Structure 1
Amino acid sequence: MSTLKHALPSLALALSISCVPVASAALSERAFDEPYSSTPEPSVDQAQVIYYRLDGNQVSPDGALLYIDGELHTSLLNGGFTRFCLSPGQHTLGTFLSESPAYPGKANTPFELNLEGGKTYFMQVELASGRPLPLSRQEAEPRLTQTRRQAHLLSRASNIQTCVETAPASEPVAVPVYKDYALSGDVLFAFGKSDRKDMTRAGRRAISDLIATLHREHANLRRILVVGHTDPIGRPETNLALGLQRAQTVRDLLVDGGIPESVLETASMGSTELVVSECVGSRAARVDCYAPNRRVVVRVDVSQ
């Protein structure tokens, strides 16, 4: 029994020592969260700091205590990073190993810097000096891919802020660019007509000239909208139908001239987009006055 009594303390000590590596490994695993991914710049009223630790071959198992303005933020383990934001202006940063004989503590942080709003600062832990090693994004991010976010301590640094990211610049919306070719309705058709058989000789010549222009000036046709317009004489629904019939006739002639049918569309504005309005007088006078409204517009998409 006496022998067993003397053996128990030694056994307990041996078990305690044997459990240390397992407990340390478990703690190390729990200390990390997601791997690093590139972050956008902060808002203009914040400065962002990404502080990481990669010891290389000289790995210390102790956490590097990171102080911000004299207050403990976290204990960075090898392979860990932390991200935080501060208000722009003067701040102090430093990291120290707790077992270092020359450990200066939070009252003597060695690195002072002036942070600018809207910028991200990348800092690598330098254990020898306690001073962070500033790096550019291009230098730091390839190394940061080997790290994971440190997550086992709550920060006690009162000056840190939740980072507010700037919204990524939206892609500029491409605004279509058009070139219009206006054909006089009176040149194309007899008054009030819309069929091929009602086209004038001058109208057919105008269509042929337009086809030649389209082939010459537009090697890659994307979209062509043929729009019929009428004058306000008559009922609106009748004018709308007449405008569409004229547009469809012009569309068919463009196809005959080698313009791909797949790029052609037709529409009618009827008498809703007048060039000339408020014509008065006899019907003949008004027909003559309203002539500029009677037209077919061939709108070519010339966007780059």
Structure 2
Amino acid sequence: MNKFNASLIAVVVTGSLFSVAAQATIDEAKVFGVNFQPVAAVPASQSQVIYYRTKVTSAEPSHIYVDGEYQSALLPGMFTTFCVSPGNHSLGGFQKDAPYYEGKSAQPFRDTFEGGKTYYIKVDEDVNGRPLRVNQHQATDELKTMRAQAHTLSRASAVEQCRYTAETSMDYSLSSDVLFNFGKSGRNDISGQGRQAISELIGKLHKDGVQLNRIQVIGHTDPIGKATTNMRLGQQRANTVRRLLIEGGLPARNLSASSAGNEELLVNECRGTRAEQIECNAPNRRVVVRVQTQ
């Protein structure tokens, strides 16, 4: 889902507003809201979307539409955060679509949103209307200097106020290259160094006195090979780590294992020989132990 699927709204924003803003004669606080901060999780009854725009290829606003209705207008360096109910929605960011605002009817990009997940979507400056799915690592790096869109109100009926959960979590990332040899996932494949790393993590959790209400073990892979194979490999590695955590005294009833496959990469566009690609992709091969503490 790298090329996102959804179509958004067209906001009625006058050209004069942006020409005045360009001359810095408007109150900036009324146009640009707060600086970006990492978002909290949403419940399973909602999906959260953070839509943002980076490139300065045009002074025209990008009109963001959700299910053919206007959500916001983004200038470069701006973002909008909103929630929708889980399910199928269209999404997109259109430039220069006034006065007819074809973004309302042109909805070529549509996708299914899962409950409890946060999606990072970026305006594609090269293909008008197309949204781009971005991984969390890249998105938070690009968003850290951005400010919220604050000069228009959403008219999208599908958009809901986000109901953030009170849950907090801590992530402990273990390098798969420490745990396993390349392409391996079984209990007998785990290295002595890997067993030591897991033992140290168990000791840290006990020492810190963390309330172990829910623990997710998530296997991540690099993009080398087929996506289906990587999804299976990530699951197998997560299963192995989960078993070792249980043997170390963590409560089995609170432990789950899942795979992200190669969908949440920390490093992109590794090139060269196969050996060079394997080395470059090392940060992507990891097992994350996510501990919900409240």
TM-score (norm 2): 0.48
Q: Which has the larger radius of gyration?
A: 1
Higher helix share: 1
1 or 2 for the larger relative contact order (CA 8 Å, sep ≥6)? Answer: 2
TM-score (norm 1): 0.46
